[in-house]
Structure 1
Amino acid sequence: MRAYEKPVITVDSGMAEGIYAASGATQGTLNVTYHGVWDRWGTNGGKGLAMADWSGIDGTITLNIKFNETVDQIETDDASVQCAWNGSTATLTFASTASNPLTIGIHIDHGTSIDDLKMESFTYSVN
């Protein structure tokens, strides 16, 4: 499916008269799947496993993943990925040439059971 882009009209005194319209192509697809518990640390905490995969994307991807619990750390299997977390949201920034699929580890260290961790949603943008 193609995304509609509203045409823009500009005036350029150096150009011949006319109206030029173009619509951009869809910027590929990206999907994130949460697989559940990857590792347990004693009776509380642990690491959850998610995987991101994409196709048809060219550029820098910013991926935001929202969880139902506070995230204490995020890691990936690709050292080029920049990882940040704030509250229940993890943000990963990476080139579309990064490891695909991308393995994502979500750490819960604050006493909550890793069994309770769920992914609620994700969004992404491409620059």
Structure 2
Amino acid sequence: MRTYKKPVVSVDAGMTEGVYAASGAAQGTLNVTYYGVWDRWGTNGGKGLAMANWSGIDGTITLNVHFNDTVDEAETTDASVQASCSGKTATFVFASTVENPLTMGIHLNHGTSIDDLKMTGFEYSVR
């Protein structure tokens, strides 16, 4: 069960403007590891392999994984996961009850080398 904590508003003339809100403690942990080439499309493009694992998370996870090249397609081995991509980011939306770890494929179909693909970071949210 999640505990609701009433937000507190404070004013500090020396602080940068912004709105910050949090309710309850952080929930669990999630990590993403990029392993490199999973498959090659001849001499250009291919699929990279990444895996996400988590613990202590209950709910729907939205995971954004960022890369150093444009992602043309994102997939997983679990058909219930919603996978999409935009620019250099692959997004995965899934229930915390799906297979763990989650296997993710990152496709480069635009002619650049899959050997050069690197993960630059990730973030996630839970609802």
State the TM bucket, normalised to the shorter chain: 0.7 to 0.9
- The equivalent residue for 2:7 is 8
- The equivalent residue for 2:66 is 66
- The equivalent residue for 1:104 is 104
The root-mean-square deviation of aligned C-alpha atoms, in Å, is: 1.6
Contact 2:67 2:88 in 1 (8 A): yes
1:94 is aligned with what amino acid? F
In the TM superposition, residue 109 of structure 1 has moved relative to its aligned partner by 0.5
2:86 is aligned with what amino acid? N
In the TM superposition, residue 75 of structure 1 has moved relative to its aligned partner by 0.5
Runs of 4+ with >4 A deviation: none
The alignment's TM-score, normalised by the length of structure 2, stands at 0.82
Q: Does 1:29 align with 2:15?
A: no
SS across alignment from 1:111 = coil
Give unpaired runs (5+ residues) of structure 2: 9-22
Distance (whole Å) between structure 2 residues aligned to residue 96 and residue 122 of structure 1: 17
Cα deviation 1:2-32 (Å, max 9, x = unaligned): xxx97537xxxxxxxxxxxxx7233000000
- The equivalent residue for 1:52 is 52
Contact 2:33 2:51 in 1 (8 A): yes
The alignment's TM-score, normalised by the length of structure 1, stands at 0.82
In the TM superposition, residue 74 of structure 1 has moved relative to its aligned partner by 0.4
